[in-house]
């Protein structure tokens, strides 16, 4: 899980490094269904319909942007998990509708997450932080979904040029 912590911003900055992290462009991440610091709506958890929530993002145009990646992870005092990794999203994409994990953008890939499932694994812990992080990448991840999660997360970290996050706290 060290790769997860490094990529998502927990603990040390690991792969991104302190000097590079300061130079990352900011992405504004929002959702018509999620609010920063508010509970994750039950419908996007294992207690609801278990679909991925809609997300929107924007940043300054980055001429070197080649793709987008989304990583959803959770943290409690005793546990961390990755719930969704969607990568190689076309750089021109600025939003995903509800349940995009079931019908991802053409050309994108989804990683096998902590639970072993490919796609969105709905969160279940009622008391946790759920982070929806959007990364703008200078290249494509271009790895098969069968690749190990740490390998995919490292490739995302190595290519990140902009990052933004929306954090939900607990489940409604």
**pLDDT tens track for 70-88:** 999 999 888 899 999 999 9
pLDDT digits (tens, 9 = 90+) for 39-55: 999 999 999 988 999 99
Enumerate residues 6+ apart whose C-beta is below 8 A from 73.
4, 8, 80, 81, 82, 83, 130, 131, 133
Which domain CATH number covers 59?
3.90.280.10
**Considering the entire predicted model, what is its pTM?**
0.86
User: How many structural domains is the chain composed of?
Assistant: 1
Report the relative pairing of strands 160-169 and 25-26 from DSSP bridges.
Answer: parallel
Which residues form the domain of 126? 2-169
């Amino acid at each position: 899980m060290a790769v997860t912590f490094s990529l998502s911003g927990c603990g040390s900055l690991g792969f991104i490094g302190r000097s590079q992290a300061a130079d990352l462009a900011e992405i504004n991440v929002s959702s018509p269904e999620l609010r920063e610091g508010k509970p994750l709506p039950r419908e996007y958890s294992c207690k609801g319909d278990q679909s991925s929530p809609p997300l929107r993002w924007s940043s300054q145009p980055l001429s070197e942007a080649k793709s987008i990646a989304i990583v959803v992870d959770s943290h409690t005092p005793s546990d961390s998990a990755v719930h969704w990794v969607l990568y190689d999203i076309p750089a021109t994409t600025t939003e995903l509708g509800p349940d995009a994990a079931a019908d991802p953008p053409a050309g994108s890939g989804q990683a096998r997450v902590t639970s072993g499932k490919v796609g969105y694994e709905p969160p279940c812990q009622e008391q946790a932080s759920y982070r929806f992080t959007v990364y703008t990448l200078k290249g494509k991840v271009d790895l098969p979904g069968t690749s190990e999660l740490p390998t995919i997360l490292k490739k995302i970290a190595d290519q990140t040029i902009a990052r933004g996050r929306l954090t939900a706290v607990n489940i409604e």
